Structures are given as C-alpha cells and as structure tokens.
C-alpha cells in the first residue's frame, strides 16, 4: 500500500480539541505525519492509513470531520533534511504559549 496525503476539514475550537484530535489520529497504524492548522480547521495526515479510518477516529474523539482531499504526498525525507534540529535546544526555547499550527512526525 502506498503512502498518501489526506486532508480533512475538522472542528477545532481550542487547544483541548487540537490535542484530542492529534492523540486520536496518532493511535492509528500507518500514520507517518500529522499536521493541524487550527485557524483554517484543516488536519493533514500522511501515511498508508485509510482516510475513512482517520475520519472515524476524529469523530470518535468528539470533533466534526470531513474528507476534503486525498492525493500523493510530497517527499518526507527531503523535508526532514531541511528542518533545523530542535533536539539540542532547551525546552524553554522550543515552547510557545500561542500555538496556531501543530505538527507531529511519527
């Protein structure tokens, strides 16, 4: 099964909603990357996971979810090489009080 990029319109109204959605989707097998844009209400999942399973899991977490697109992903390896390393930074330099976008790479 090949990897795909799944975009869903989700109802995210607060940090608690965002955390609940991220945790619910991260439990699924076949998820490689999760990105949430809370301002636009868009959840992007990259991996071999079934789009219907992602939608069902978000709905079970208590949020609205609707599939907007399913397509091929961009190259994850190139993106990871261009990211600055945050592992050597102290936790306080990585933490921000206001979060509008969240990403989770698995």
The domain spanning residue 48 has which CATH number? Answer: 3.30.70.100
For residue 33, being part of any structural domain is answered with: yes
pLDDT on residue 95: 43
pLDDT by position in tens, the chain (length 106): 789 999 999 998 889 989 999 999 999 999 999 999 989 999 999 999 999 999 999 999 988 999 999 999 876 554 454 445 445 544 444 444 445 566 666 6
Burial class (CB in 10 A: 0-12, 13-18, 19+), 16: exposed
The tokens for 68 are 């907007």
For residue 84, being part of any structural domain is answered with: no
Q: How many domains does the chain have?
A: 1
For residue 80, being part of any structural domain is answered with: no
For residue 86, being part of any structural domain is answered with: no
Q: How far apart are CA 30 and CA 14, in angstroms?
A: 27
For residue 8, being part of any structural domain is answered with: yes
């Amino acid at each position: 099964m090949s990897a795909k990029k799944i975009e869903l319109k989700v109802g995210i109204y607060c940090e608690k909603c965002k955390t609940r959605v991220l945790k619910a989707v991260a439990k699924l097998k076949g998820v490689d990357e999760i990105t949430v844009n809370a301002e636009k209400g868009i959840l992007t999942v990259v991996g071999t996971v079934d789009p219907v399973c992602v939608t069902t899991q978000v709905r079970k977490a208590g949020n609205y979810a609707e599939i907007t697109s399913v397509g091929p992903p961009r190259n994850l390896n190139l993106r990871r090489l261009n990211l600055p390393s945050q592992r050597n930074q102290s936790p306080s330099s990585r933490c921000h009080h206001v979060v509008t976008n969240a990403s989770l790479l698995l």
